[in-house]
A = this chain, B = another copy of it.
Amino acid sequence: MALKCTRKQNYPEWYQNVISQADMAENSVSTGCMVIKAWGYGIWERVQHVLDEQIKETGHENYYFPMFIPLSFFQKEADHVEGFAKEMAVVTHSRLTNESGKLTPSSPLDEPLIVRPTSETIIADSFSKWVKSYRDLPILLNQWANVVRWEMRPRLFLRTREFLWQEGHTVHANAKEAENETIKMLNVYKKVSEEALAMPVLSGRKPEHEKFPGAIDTYCIEAMMQDGKALQAGTSHFLGQNFARSADIKFVNQNNEQEYAYTTSWGVSTRLIGGVIMSHADDEGMVVPPHIAPNQIVFIPLIKKNDDADKVMTYIQKIQEQLKKQTSFNEKIRIKVDTRDKSSVDKVWEWVRKGAPIVCEVGMRDVENEALMVKERIFFGKQEGKKIISAADFVSSVGQRLETLQHMMFLKAKKRLEDNIRTDIKTPEDFARYFAQSNEWIEDEQQGKVAFVRGKWCGDPASEEILKSMKITIRCIPSDQSGTSGKCLLTGKDATLDVIYARSY
């Protein structure tokens, strides 16, 4: 079955359709939540694997904290409350009673519990008990968990009421060290996003009004989707002493004085998978970067006569054994032999829709020629995407081949990003004219559609109203500031700050 529509015809519908045709996830009967299916979860497992390695290499250890947070904890940090109160799942009872056949909540709790929207408050409480002296610092921890935010307009992977993520939380003895940690983890996110997800990102600081509730500074990575909209793909927060003050995380410093500690937090979520889809999928369906593909190579036996079956399967197994000795991205290669009782044409299309990086079709002719038909997903429909290669050559080149495909995916996405950041818009009038247009799919090598604008911002609170009315946002204040002055693209006032403007998910 083909996709219902192309990116050009209906981009939002195309997105949903890619997910369902690749069998990655679906909407659950539990409203606003999703069921993540094997192919989608397999991609998440790969993302977890790569990121977890980086988190550990940078000195963090995994912990697990309760998902139920006493309501009173949210009362402590005013900004934090403001930010999250509107979207919290509240547990109020601990039992069900059968009232004439109807189950009814009973045993009301003395204090309602909040299902964590994020764990700053409850982890800060632990920190307050664990930290006594500068010798206990830094504490560098992370947790992999589910979190809940009561989204009213849920969308698979991008915004669901429950989602999966990791949240890092650290405590430091001084502001400088905590700020360095914030930037360090932002860079880890950038690295994983670009290297494993092949998704180029811009990084920078959020403007005041886009900060995490309770943070001093929020840093982010922002990716450009194929329709020119921005996707916030990860955030890293310098919390200063805000949470330390509200949770009483104090320590005795080297001068023997009591001082509030400095904390950070940082997270990425299953939303990244939405980013991967909208960075790489095409009009045939999903395209998974080899580094995070649950199966990098899929074999499809083409068996015309029953007599051939044994020979073809033996041949595939022989190649599979040889492939198992190869590596790619410093890991074993993940291979699947699709032996299901289904027509091979259906199987081929299924793997196209799922976006497995390489599909090898093997029939008797290949057995006789000691060769393989190798189809590389990113070249679908093009001559170079389909070639007969000798088995020996395929085995010896497979690691490099997967890494090259990954790199090509990254370069393509990077070109799209770089080609579609407008820097020549200098007046509010031109800016308004530009964003009066709707976002549409940006074809390869295409320019001139609505995407990102890099330009000046005065920082004036009044400018936020203009943003709202135009339904655009400031994605970040990039670290590479030009230092020049110019006119704010919103208010026309004098301004020196360079920011990235875009519509966003």
Contacts and interface: CB of A to CB of B under 8 A. Distances in A.
A90 B96 contact: yes
B62 A45 contact: yes
Contacts of A30: 66, 68-70, 113, 122
Interface in A28-65: 28-30, 33-38, 41-42, 44-45, 61-65
Interface in A138-193: 141, 145-146, 148, 150, 161-162, 164
A92 B95 contact: no
A128 to B, nearest CB: 10
Given A85-B103, A91-B91, A92-B90, A67 B35 contact: no
A383 interface: no
A61 B88 contact: no
Nearest to A95: B86
B135 A341 contact: yes
A87 interface: yes
Contacts of A347: none
B62 A42 contact: yes
A41 to B, nearest CB: 5
A103 B89 contact: no
A74 B94 contact: no
A426 interface: no
Contacts of A122: 28-30
A36 B64 contact: yes
A97 interface: yes
Interface residues of A, number: 61
Nearest to A152: B94
A12 to B, nearest CB: 23
A85 B98 contact: yes
A105 interface: yes
Interface in A1-43: 28-30, 33-38, 41-42
A95 B36 contact: no
A61 B294 CA distance: 11
A125 interface: yes
A341 B30 CA distance: 51
A347 to B, nearest CB: 14
A466 interface: no
Contacts of A113: 30, 89
Interface in A419-435: none
B115 A115 contact: yes
B70 A29 contact: yes
A35 B126 contact: yes
A388 interface: no
A94 to B, nearest CB: 4
A486 interface: no
A342 to B, nearest CB: 9
Contacts of A70: 29-30
Contacts of A115: 91, 115
Contact of A68 (B38, B65, B89): B89
A202 to B, nearest CB: 30
A408 B44 CA distance: 38
A75 interface: yes
A125 B67 contact: no
Contact of A92 (B35, B85, B92): B92
Contacts of A114: 96
A71 interface: yes
Contact of A75 (B29, B38, B103, B126): B103
A392 interface: no
A60 B38 CA distance: 9
Contact of A34 (B66, B74, B85, B162): B66
A64 B90 contact: no
A65 B29 CA distance: 10
A94 B85 CA distance: 9
Interface in A214-246: none
A64 to B, nearest CB: 4
Given A41-B64, A45-B62, A68-B33, A97 B85 contact: yes
- Top-7 shortest CB links A-B: A33-B66, A38-B61, A30-B66, A90-B93, A36-B64, A85-B96, A90-B105
Given A35-B65, A74-B103, A92-B92, 13 more contacts: A29-B70, A35-B63, A36-B65, A38-B61, A38-B141, A66-B161, A81-B103, A85-B103, A87-B95, A88-B94, A89-B94, A90-B93, A90-B105
16 contacts: A28-B65, A28-B126, A30-B66, A30-B70, A30-B113, A42-B62, A64-B164, A85-B98, A86-B96, A88-B94, A90-B95, A90-B96, A91-B92, A94-B150, A135-B341, A145-B146
